[in-house]
Every structure is written in structure tokens, then in C-alpha cells.
């Protein structure tokens, strides 16, 4: 059978590829993309079958531009992955910490390791577009004075040694990734979670009415995110994640909520997967 083609932001051994492996297994073809928009373009142009896209981090919060991409490209959510973000200090084999002058990584990864970095003020910190790309550059250019902050997958793929393990400040840091495709593939068996997007009527209490409908039907709202509607003052898109035990109650809640919403979009129904 043909391997699934999965578009990721970044290169091989990035956290996006790690998330793709966790969901699909390692027998996939990774499509490397330099931006989140380009992952969507790869899907649109039939260069990929799926996209793995980070949507929120437990420290950095929501990746707001990615919500816009979900709507603009009419992407369908078919699953989710929660990935613990474990960051290590990687170097060429044989390099000692005393030799190191530079540390490179993605800006968010650097911020997540700032307590460790602050202990060594002599280190020159350099920002890059991708954690794995820093590891690859050390391997390709045989840099003996530079270390990368990246994951264990990058160390393995690019033949680097781990000088220091788990240097992230918060050991409970995780990122949630969405598994996306361009069209609905059919119902996900036993789906118990959905992501919605809608605007509400310009009336007092209209959002509260929608949320109360969910509560009255035992549908749990696990997340709500608002984004301004482009070009319209005081109007917002709401992105909501909901979970349920009884599918009939969920269906009835959606039917009633439609009365109080505008531009309602079901972004996807899928299996809740919050195992970190």
C-alpha cells in the first residue's frame, strides 16, 4: 500500500514529525514545509494527504494564526495528539560543554529553557526557524562550538549526543496538534469530541444561550477561543471544542445551537486523545 503523505511545519525530527509518528506510526512519508500555510498548500495541491498542525501549547498558549488557516482552507479535523515537549542540549559526539559558545533553537524552545540558559551567561543565543534544523546544521557543518536545543528524535536522526537532558523549565509542558485533511473521510467511529466555529447574533446573551444549550445537554466545552472577524468591529468568530458521552444529546445540542449562530462550521468530529 502507498504510504500516507503527511505535511509538517519544519523538517524531519521536528516535534511535528514526532506528533505525526505518534498518530500514524513511523511508516509514513513526511512532507517538509517551511511554514504552516505551506502545509495547507501541500494538502490543497495534492502533495500531501494529511497535515499535522500545532494549535496550542501549555505555556505559549494558542497559535492564533492557525485557527484562521483552518477556516480559510476548509480543513477537516480527524484527530488530535498531545505531545510532551522534552528539550535536550545536543552536540557533535565528543564535544565537551566547556567548548560550547553558541546555543541555537526555535525562539519558543529557547524561552522554554531560559532558566538553564541564564545559568551560563557566556553562551551566545541564536534563534532559528526550527529546532531540528539547528541539529541538522551542527551535523552538516560539523560545528564543535555550537549546541542545539531539540528533541531526542533529532539527536538520533542527525547523529548528535545529548549533553544535557530535559533542560526545559516546566517539565509538564505539552503541545496539542491537530490531524487535518482536505475533505471529510467519513465518520470517525465512536467520535466523542468536536471542534466548531461560529459567530453569534448581535444580541444580548446570544453566546451565553449557545453555551447553556451545551450544558443542558451534558456536552462539555473543553475550550473556547475568540478571534475578531476581519473588517467587522465588535464581531468575533468563536472556536469551541466540545466533548460528549451521549451522541444523541450532542446532535440535539448542535441542532438547537444553530438557531443562535451565524456561519456555523463543524470543523471535525474525532476521538478525544489527551494522553500526554
Q: Quick: pLDDT tens for 140-164.
A: 999 999 999 999 999 999 999 999 9
Residue 141 belongs to a domain:
yes
Question: What average pLDDT score do residues 59-87 get?
Answer: 93
Number of domains the chain contains: 3
**Structural domain containing residue 247:** 193-270
Question: How much of the chain is helix, strand and coil, in % rounded to 5?
Answer: 30, 35, 35
State the cell numbers at 138: 551542527
The candidate with the shortest Cα–Cα distance to 214, out of 180, 177, 242, is: 242
State the CATH number of the domain containing residue 242. 3.30.70.260
- Could you tell me where the DSSP H helices lie in the chain? 15-24, 36-44, 64-72, 107-112, 114-118, 131-141, 152-157, 206-216, 247-257
Q: Report the predicted TM-score, pTM, of the whole model to 2 decimal places.
A: 0.92
Residue 68 belongs to a domain:
yes
Residue 187 belongs to a domain:
no
pLDDT at 185 over 70: no
Q: Do 177 and 67 share a structural domain?
A: yes
Residue 55 belongs to a domain:
yes
Amino acid at each position: 500500500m502507498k504510504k500516507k503523505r503527511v505535511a509538517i511545519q519544519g523538517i524531519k525530527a521536528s516535534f511535528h514529525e514526532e506528533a505525526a509518528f505518534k498518530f500514524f506510526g513511523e511508516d509514513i512519508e513526511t512532507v517538509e514545509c517551511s511554514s504552516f500555510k505551506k502545509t495547507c498548500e501541500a494538502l490543497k495541491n495534492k502533495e500531501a494527504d494529511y497535515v499535522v498542525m500545532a494549535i496550542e501549547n501549555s505555556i505559549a498558549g494558542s497559535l492564533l494564526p492557525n485557527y484562521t488557516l483552518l477556516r480559510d482552507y476548509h480543513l477537516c479535523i480527524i484527530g488530535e495528539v498531545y505531545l510532551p515537549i522534552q528539550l535536550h542540549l545536543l552536540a557533535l559526539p565528543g564535544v565537551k560543554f566547556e567548548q560550547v559558545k553558541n546555543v541555537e533553537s526555535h525562539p519558543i524552545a529557547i524561552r522554554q529553557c531560559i532558566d538553564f540558559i541564564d545559568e551560563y551567561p557566556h553562551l551566545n543565543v541564536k534563534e532559528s526557524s526550527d529546532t531540528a534544523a539547528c541539529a541538522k546544521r551542527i551535523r552538516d557543518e560539523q560545528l564543535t562550538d555550537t549546541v542545539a536545543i531539540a528533541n531526542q528524535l533529532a539527536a538520533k536522526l542527525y547523529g548528535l549526543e545529548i549533553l544535557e537532558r530535559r533542560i526545559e523549565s516546566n517539565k509538564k509542558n505539552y503541545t496539542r496538534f491537530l490531524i487535518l485533511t482536505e475533505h471529510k473521510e467519513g465518520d470517525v467511529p465512536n467520535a466523542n469530541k468536536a471542534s466548531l466555529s461560529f459567530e453569534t447574533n448581535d444580541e444580548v446573551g446570544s453566546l451565553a444561550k449557545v453555551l447553556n444549550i451545551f450544558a443542558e445537554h451534558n456536552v462539555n466545552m473543553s475550550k473556547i477561543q475568540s478571534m475578531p472577524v476581519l473588517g467587522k468591529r465588535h464581531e468575533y468568530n468563536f472556536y469551541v471544542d466540545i466533548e460528549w458521552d451521549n451522541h444523541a444529546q450532542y446532535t440535539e445540542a448542535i441542532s438547537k445551537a444553530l438557531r443562535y449562530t451565524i456561519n456555523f462550521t463543524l470543523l471535525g468530529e474525532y476521538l478525544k486523545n489527551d494522553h500526554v
